[in-house]
Amino acid sequence: MHPFDYTRVSDTREALNAGRRGGRYIAGGTTLVDLMRETVERPGALVDISDLPLREVTVTERGGLHIGALVRMAEAAAHPKVRTLYPVISEALELSASAQLRNMATIGGNIMQRTRCTYFRDVTADCNKREPGAGCAALHGYNRTHAILGTSDHCVATHPSDVAVAFAALEATVHVLGPDGERTVPFADFLLLPGHTPHREHALRNGELITAVEIPALPRPLRSGYLKVRDRQSYEFALTSAAVALHVRGGVIREAKVAVGGVGTVPWKLPAVERHLVGERPSDALWEAAASRAADGARPLAHNRFKLELLQRTVERQLRIVGGTK
């Protein structure tokens, strides 16, 4: 680990001033500290924001949820309003990492975590995300766990967050605060596709700080859930995952929200699947037909072609579970 300066702040003004000078924000530190130990990240200064008052979960006036950026993953998963209104969020959080990490990691930090690509974390390997212009060793290396959606010739790394998949499905909004004031960013625009610049991973501007994630109010009744498929059942990242929320009234699907993880360079929304569902009556045939669109546009690599079928089966299974025809 390389030397760095450390500052602990107690209010947002101090935090923004330190961030504007190039300091990296840290709270739980469950990702950044690991990367610093491996010398993948070498920040010159850390700004500890764990004392900031961003720890509340509240119901908005319209019936959505406002989750503070410093709410711990375990706290958010256990919160009665989260569990009642959006079980998909609780389930995604509880299927993430280990209990010890969930007790430390924050919601804001979780969506900012960097990829688990082994080439990114191996400082001897070529990686455009770590060193722009170096190349992508995963393209022609062992890429079984890598992305098949949203890839480019410069990067095929997956985004590792589970709860980010739920946020993408529910069309959340990220609240940020910076030197120029407050602004909101749709979650769909917050995490960036790699394109030609895979080292640019998010839409935050210099010195900006995430303050909350807001989930919009959705029609009720709403059934939702998260399914994660992985090589082992504990402390493992997804090969595929699916976040599904369905509003069914009068025996007809009035609204559908579907996103997947483990297969995209960012959490991947599935509008084609959603369109296939809306206006239809739940049935096994419908789930199968809708899920057949889940891999539209996929570009499999040498070792992860199996994800095409696995993704479709994962989406179909979760539609059955949430739709009540399992």
Each residue's pLDDT tens digit, 71-104: 999 999 999 999 999 999 999 999 999 999 999 9
Domain containing 32: what range? 1-50
Question: Residue 218 above 80 pLDDT?
Answer: yes
For the chain, strand residue ranges (E) read: 5-8, 24-26, 45-48, 57-59, 65-68, 173-178, 181-186, 209-215, 223-229, 240-249, 252-261, 268-269
What average pLDDT score do residues 233-254 get?
A: 96
Same domain, 188 and 293: no
pLDDT in tens, 125-170: 999 999 999 999 999 999 999 999 999 999 999 999 999 999 999 9
Which tokens go with 190?
Answer: 């917050």
pLDDT the model gives residue 166? 98
pLDDT the model gives residue 235? 85
Same domain, 67 and 202: yes
> Which of 199, 215, 231 is at the close of a domain?
215
The gap from C-alpha 185 to its chain's centroid, in whole angstroms, comes to 14
> Which of 215, 236, 256 is at the close of a domain?
215
Question: Residue 232 above 70 pLDDT?
Answer: yes
Number of domains, the chain: 3
Range of weakest confidence among 28-42, 164-178, 188-202: 28-42
pLDDT the model gives residue 1? 74
Of the pLDDT bands very low, low, confident and very high (cuts 50, 70, 90), residue 325 is low
pLDDT the model gives residue 324? 87
The answer to whether residue 169 is domain-embedded is yes
pLDDT in tens, 185-198: 999 999 999 999 99
Same domain, 68 and 184: yes
Same domain, 29 and 102: no
Same domain, 208 and 61: yes
pTM: 0.97
Question: Residue 173 above 70 pLDDT?
Answer: yes
Question: Residue 326 above 60 pLDDT?
Answer: no
At 264, which amino acid appears? G
pLDDT the model gives residue 34? 92
Question: Residue 283 above 60 pLDDT?
Answer: yes
Q: What percent of the chain has pLDDT over 90?
A: 96
- Report the chain's mean pLDDT, rounded to a whole number: 96
> Which of 175, 197, 215 is at the close of a domain?
215
The answer to whether residue 235 is domain-embedded is yes
